[in-house]
Amino acid sequence: MKNILITFDSTNYAIQCEAVLKEKGIKGQIMPTPREITKSCGISIRVDYEEIENIKGLINDGKIKVKMLYSFGEERIFEPIL
């Protein structure tokens, strides 16, 4: 199953994003940011890949501020998508 990992420049952006996702009914799970991706904010949010269009819409509408989006599966190979 494919997932999206949302990374942030700050913990505040991660917390704001979590609140927006809950408000929109999008299930997300906070997790530590893998060190191989970035050493900035230590908090990321994982969501199901099927939510990609909803996430992009929230970014484009300025509802959430992200550093990067990555797709990944069970093998945990992170591929940038934004």
Q: What is the pLDDT of residues 11-20, one digit of tens each?
A: 999 999 999 9
Residue 37: its pLDDT value, please? 86
**Percent of the chain predicted with pLDDT > 90:** 84
Half-sphere exposure at residue 60, Cβ-oriented, CA atoms within 13 angstroms: 7
All structural domains of the chain with their residue ranges = 3-80
Query: What tens digit of pLDDT does each residue of 27-78 get?
Result: 999 999 998 887 777 899 999 999 999 999 999 999 999 999 999 998 889 9
Query: What tens digit of pLDDT does each residue of 51-63 get?
Result: 999 999 999 999 9
Q: Which of 9, 1, 55, 66 is nearest to 28 (CA)?
A: 55
Q: What topology is assigned to 3-80 in CATH?
A: Alpha-Beta Plaits (3.30.70)
